[in-house]
Amino acid sequence: IYTSGTTGKPKGIMLTHRALLASIGYTNRLGSLSRSDIFLTVSPFTHVFGLISAGLAPISNGCRMIMTNN
């Protein structure tokens, strides 16, 4: 993930596979997603929160996704 530099100089930040899986696991605890769900993504994937909550968590649960053109 590349940071925009809001708190300093812009830079690339390495996120590990383990950290992404842990975040998906925490997101899945907030509610139940299933293959029958249709998920509208509105958060940009350029932010970690949007990537995990609106992208990776639904995909990991087999949800159908509809992506907006932001």
pLDDT of residue 28: 82
Q: Which pTM was predicted?
A: 0.66
Give pLDDT, residue 18: 93
Burial class of residue 13 in the structure, from the number of CB atoms within 10 Å of its CB (0-12 exposed, 13-18 middle, 19+ buried): exposed
pLDDT digits (tens, 9 = 90+) for 11-54: 888 889 998 899 888 888 887 888 898 888 876 777 777 788 77
